[in-house]
Structure 1
Amino acid sequence: MVTEKLQDELKDVPNYKGIIAKVMRIYTTKQSIEANAIKDALQFYQFHGVKYNLGEELEGILEAANNFGGEPFETAVRFSLDEINEIDGNSIFRSNQVIDSKQLTDATYKQLQMLGTFGDKIPPRNEFPSLTNETTTTSIIHGETGWILYSIETKEITAEEATNIEERVIEIK
């Protein structure tokens, strides 16, 4: 079991059992499980269910799951059909999602306080760095079947001068 392995690895960390219990709460809601466990499926179906016109951008606000298990985040989204390649029988779709920075920063700060990992070394909220989370997905989709031929999702999370980039690729050969 994952928690047993974590307990073994973190046994020298003060209050490690409490920290593990709090981290495992991430998997207590349907939304957080989906956000953490089925990322490939969500990426695969990213562009399904919407009618697209070539060159038109669809924009709006959607809710994104909060991986900490709290209220979902407001997320500004843009979707587009960028190219139709009739010779190869596929199309290129693109999306961009930007999570509300204040909601993300507030939820992260609250989670860090709850975990107590930093003890009293966590700065006051007004001095805590703002976080950004932007995800861009580009997919090549087969025109006749609707199957993803290739898809790359790039998630960039930034706090002050630190940036974490995560890429997930789906490719059918």
Structure 2
Amino acid sequence: MKNSSRNRSSKKYLTRVYLVIFGFFLISTFIKVDLKAQSIDDTTIQWVMYLEPKDTIAYKVNQQKLKISGTDTTVSKNFSYDLTLIVLDTTGSKFKISATYHNFVSTQVDEITKQLLSISEGMKVIYEADGFGGFIEILNTDELIPQIKKSYDQVVKKMGLNKEIVKGLEPIMQRYATKEGLEGGGVDELHYLHGGIGYQYVLGKEYFEDVQVANNLGGKPFDGTRTMKLLEIDSSERTAMLKIITDIDGEQLKEASVNLVKSLLPADKQKDFKAEEVPAMFIQHRLVNFFDYDYGWNLYSYNIKEVEAGGVITQEITEIAVK
């Protein structure tokens, strides 16, 4: 990469410092412009990635799932893995990047989840980004989808999973069965790392846009509203911090959840299912990205997917830090 070893060391130290304070920022109509210098003045920047072939950056990804009920918090899932990005091509106005998933470590997962995670070991996703660095699409889905299907079938056979369990896993595996599913819900970490790239921001100003959010339960995407705000610019370290909050239509989520639950019930039980007893749902995604605005690499990303229903909150937390 272009950074000097001194600057990279300094930014790694600064990244570690920010790990401590990121939580405080999570409590709480863009215009794409022509490519230009990213730091326009002390209060305005444009996040653009400047990449060259063979540029490489390695991340450690940690993910956990929490259930919060009153004062009780339960951790139901906790694992980590390495994610290595390598720029393959910068020809024309787009970038081709490979993302390799490896070194999965499960510290708190059930055996089925552990086996499903093993499917991703060594998996290489080739994807395309636009000239600013915004995620466009996965290029090798024709290779990935049959590879994932074959590995999944081997897990089912190895563990001797019965039909009921396999049926319950269908919504999870559905996101890996099509190009749209894989891009929408199978590579969240790539969307986090590229989230907010390509736009010009004024420090402290909020920007709003209507968005479509992938429906991992099956069916059409959910409607949502996204709010983006540049929290900080450090001109001496050439870094900035961006917060993105996405509020998703809870009624659409409830409807999709009801349809999924009914589909998993035996036919004679479906008529007894009372959809009106399902509580209202509130869903929000909160993402903070801390990035080098000279070269565009994301240095630290922290995302919370939160769903609240009937007084119970579930959170899926993904933390991505440069190694």
TM bracket, shorter-chain basis: 0.7 to 0.9
Q: Of 240, 252, 257, which residue of structure 2 is paired with 1:103?
A: 252
Aligned to 2:279, the other structure's residue is in SS state: coil
Aligned to 2:317: 167
For residues 20-169 of structure 1, the aligned pairs below 5 Å read 20=169, 24-116=173-265, 120=269, 123-169=273-319
- TM-aligned CA deviation for residue 68 of structure 1: 2.3
The alignment status of 1:10 with 2:161, answered yes or no, reads yes
Q: Which moved more, 1:72-81 or 1:25-34?
A: 25-34
Q: How many residues align?
A: 171
Residue aligning to 2:104: none
Percent identity of the aligned residues? 23
Note closer, same or farther for the CA distance 1:106–1:149 as it changes in structure 2 (3 Å cut).
same
Unaligned runs of 5+ in 2: 1-150
Residue matched to 2:17 = none
What is the letter of the counterpart of residue 114 of structure 1?
Answer: S
Taking a change above 3 Å as real, the CA distance of residues 85 and 62 of structure 1, as seen in their structure-2 partners, is same
Native 8 Å contact 1:84 1:92 kept in 2: yes
Structure 1: gaps of 5 or more residues: none
SS of 1:74 mapped into structure 2: strand
Bigger RCO of structures 1 and 2 (CA < 8 A, at least 6 apart): 2
Please report the RMSD computed on the Cα atoms of aligned residues, expressed in angstroms: 2.4
In structure 1, C-alpha distance between the alignment counterparts of 2:165 and 2:305, rounded to whole Å: 29
TM normalised by structure 1 equals 0.86
Structure 1 stretch 109-118 or stretch 40-49: which is displaced more?
Answer: 109-118
Distance 2:268 2:313 in 1: 24
Q: Which amino acid aligns with 1:113?
A: K
Q: What is the alpha-carbon distance in structure 2 between the residues aligned to residue 93 and residue 64 of structure 1?
A: 20
Q: 2-side partners of 1:46 and 1:132: how far apart?
A: 22
Residue 158 (structure 1) shift: 1.6
- Per the TM alignment, residue 17 of structure 1 is displaced from its structure 2 partner at its CA by 4.9
**How far is 1:31 from its partner?**
2.8
User: Aligned AA for 2:320?
Assistant: I
